[in-house]
Amino acid sequence: MSAPITLQHLINGTWREGAGDAIGSSNPARPGEVVSVGRAASPAEVDQAFAAARAAAPGWARMPLQARGELLAAAATIVESHAKEWGAELSAEEGKTLAEGVGEVTRAAQVLRYQSEAAHREQGAVFASPRAGEQILVTHKPLGVVGVITPFNFPIAIPAWKIAPALVYGNTVVWKPASAVPLLAYRLASALHQAGLPAGVLNLVMGPSSMGDAIVDHADLDGLTFTGSTGVGRALAGRAASRGVPMQAEMGGKNASVVLADADLDLAAEQVLFGAFRSTGQKCTATSRLVLDRAIAEPFLERLRARLADWPVGDPQTPGVAMGPVISARAASTIAASTQQAVEQGATLLLGGEPAEGAFLTPTLLQLPDGDEGLENLAWTEELFGPVLAVRLVDGVQQAFAAANHGDLGLSCAVFTRDIATALSAVDGIDVGMLHVNSESAGADPHVPFGGAKRSGYGPKEQGLAAREFFTHTTTVYLRG
């Protein structure tokens, strides 16, 4: 990697260095390699960002939807043209493999392009009126100034799928990315700026997590969208609600892959491998629970181990490496300590579980005891956000679905079966926002709703047409000539 990039905030259409404390990012795979450097935005600069967003809001809302979309389409082209270079930077900053990094930048471009076409879709509804000479129209209008708080694990795709609909539906934005990944935020903001967004429409302020407090408490905030941990999401939601500010939060997952007795075991082993260990398990949609019908548990685990034997862990920028580090050495040691604790609570280590080496962990498989003891093990209940897969054996479909449903999270689930009736019964029987039949639990297409059931999600879903629900409110118009 070349010299560190100097970060800049985007406030009112101008790039600024920031007057706060030192910030920056470093490569989790290469101790000492600095990726970006800069200074945090000061509280006064966060205020300026809000003031700029407030001032820009009426003009932006008046611009035709089609014209706003065209700016996003131009940004999509810019992002796409940098996929290789920014993908490599993403890999250096966040630690996912080069292929995953390039894939994520490409996905961000696809999201921008999908949302850029909003003007080509229906925008509102017309209802019959019970009164003669009247029609009732429902129109969508922007919230105003929207705060966007994004996590480290998808440093460009998640911001794109929040910022694109926020902007296309006429809101202005103050964006605070995760402190570990400022470079990719700077890249996305620069693509949108270069595409020609008017000053103040998108403001990027970088800094420590405490900056989230300044955003949620800001008097100029009209809506807040957040992706991150359950604890932070709930705390922010409480504060937003206390001021009547609408909020959308995408939080934890404890997603199961359920391999039933009639499953195609080779296919299931491959998909479970991808679901659990791609991006080093750092996806809210990652598979962290494996529910195995006892009848196929042994042959399935044999296949999974065979696949894991060819799953090279190392520098994510080296071709052939399948899994890089987690986001930091600190995160790695927390995950290793949780694995240790799960063993103390009765789990059996089938694979991995070694102490962290810097930010690196090896793929870990933990088998949990049957019965309540296993269901209460922290490896079954807590989102560890790393390459740790907890295994539980069950007898039959009902027990399998019950194990997958255990607890209050319900983001995603994968079910492996060859039987269509069983697959259909999972639609009602498993309480999640995304259900995959015969494919891994992770993944999200730009044109379909994304979000969790139960306590995984708060507020409307993201992506696709669903995104409009959060980023607009409706005006019902009783119209007589």
Question: Which is closer to ligand UN1, CB of 325 or CB of 374?
Answer: 325
CA Rg value for the chain: 23
Report whether 338 contacts 384 (CB < 8 A). Answer: yes
278 contacts ligand UN1 (rule: CB under 6 A): no
Minimum CB separation from ligand UN1 for residue 462, in Å?
8
Binding range to ligand UN1, per CB under 6 A, among 68-76, 255-263, 377-385, 440-448: 440-448
d(CA 278, CA 315): 14
Interface size with ligand UN1, residues (CB under 6 A): 12
Report whether 47 contacts 19 (CB < 8 A). Answer: no
100 contacts ligand UN1 (rule: CB under 6 A): no
- Dig out the tokens for 59 from the structure: 């003009």
User: Which amino acid belongs to residue 281?
Assistant: G
250 contacts ligand UN1 (rule: CB under 6 A): yes
Question: Which is closer to ligand UN1, CB of 227 or CB of 317?
Answer: 227
Give buried/exposed letters for 270-286 (b at 16+ CB in 10 A, else e). Answer: bbbbbbbbbbbbbbbbb
Residue 253 CA, chain-centre distance (Å), reads: 11
460 contacts ligand UN1 (rule: CB under 6 A): no
Binding range to ligand UN1, per CB under 6 A, among 56-64, 363-371, 437-445, 452-460: 437-445
Question: Which is closer to ligand UN1, CB of 13 or CB of 443?
Answer: 443
Question: Which is closer to ligand UN1, CB of 20 or CB of 159?
Answer: 159
Binding range to ligand UN1, per CB under 6 A, among 110-118, 153-161, 327-335, 402-410: 153-161
109 contacts ligand UN1 (rule: CB under 6 A): no
- Express the helix, strand and coil content of the chain in percent, nearest 5 each: 40, 25, 35
Minimum CB separation from ligand UN1 for residue 94, in Å?
12
126, β-bridge pairs = 137
272 contacts ligand UN1 (rule: CB under 6 A): no
Residues 6+ apart with CB under 8 A from 291: 256, 257, 258, 259, 392, 394, 400, 403, 404
442 contacts ligand UN1 (rule: CB under 6 A): yes
Minimum CB separation from ligand UN1 for residue 421, in Å?
28
443 contacts ligand UN1 (rule: CB under 6 A): yes
Question: Which is closer to ligand UN1, CB of 116 or CB of 230?
Answer: 230
H helices, E strands: number in the chain: 16, 23
* Residues identified as active-site: 250
Report whether 242 contacts 213 (CB < 8 A). Answer: no
Minimum CB separation from ligand UN1 for residue 278, in Å?
9
Question: Which is closer to ligand UN1, CB of 261 or CB of 284?
Answer: 284
d(CA 263, CA 414): 12
Minimum CB separation from ligand UN1 for residue 74, in Å?
25
327 contacts ligand UN1 (rule: CB under 6 A): no
Neighbours of 123 (CB within 10 A): 14
106 contacts ligand UN1 (rule: CB under 6 A): no
Q: What is the dihedral of CA 216, 222, 223, 229, to 10 degrees?
A: 0
248 contacts ligand UN1 (rule: CB under 6 A): no
203 contacts ligand UN1 (rule: CB under 6 A): no
307 contacts ligand UN1 (rule: CB under 6 A): no
d(CA 96, CA 106): 15
Site string for ligand UN1, 154-173 (x = CB under 6 A): x---x---------------
- Dig out the tokens for 357 from the structure: 């080496």
Neighbours of 478 (CB within 10 A): 11
d(CA 165, CA 142): 10
Report whether 87 contacts 98 (CB < 8 A). Answer: yes
List, as one string, the DSSP characters of 282-313. -STT-EEEEEEEHHHHHHHHHHHHHHHHT--B
Minimum CB separation from ligand UN1 for residue 89, in Å?
19
Binding range to ligand UN1, per CB under 6 A, among 25-33, 110-118, 148-156, 297-305: 148-156
- Dig out the tokens for 7 from the structure: 């970060």
414 contacts ligand UN1 (rule: CB under 6 A): no
Minimum CB separation from ligand UN1 for residue 12, in Å?
29
153 contacts ligand UN1 (rule: CB under 6 A): yes
Please state, in angstroms and as integers, the Cα–Cα distance from residue 288 to each residue in 17, 163, 186, 324, following that order.
40, 29, 32, 17
Site string for ligand UN1, 39-78 (x = CB under 6 A): ----------------------------------------
Question: Which is closer to ligand UN1, CB of 89 or CB of 250?
Answer: 250
CA angle 362–367–372, rounded 5-degree value: 135
Question: Which is closer to ligand UN1, CB of 158 or CB of 258?
Answer: 158
Question: Which is closer to ligand UN1, CB of 100 or CB of 222?
Answer: 100
Which of helix, strand or coil describes residue 262?
coil
377 contacts ligand UN1 (rule: CB under 6 A): no
Minimum CB separation from ligand UN1 for residue 451, in Å?
9
Residue 369 CA, chain-centre distance (Å), reads: 31
Q: Which residues bind ligand UN1 (CB under 6 A)?
A: 151, 153-154, 158, 227, 250, 283-285, 442-444
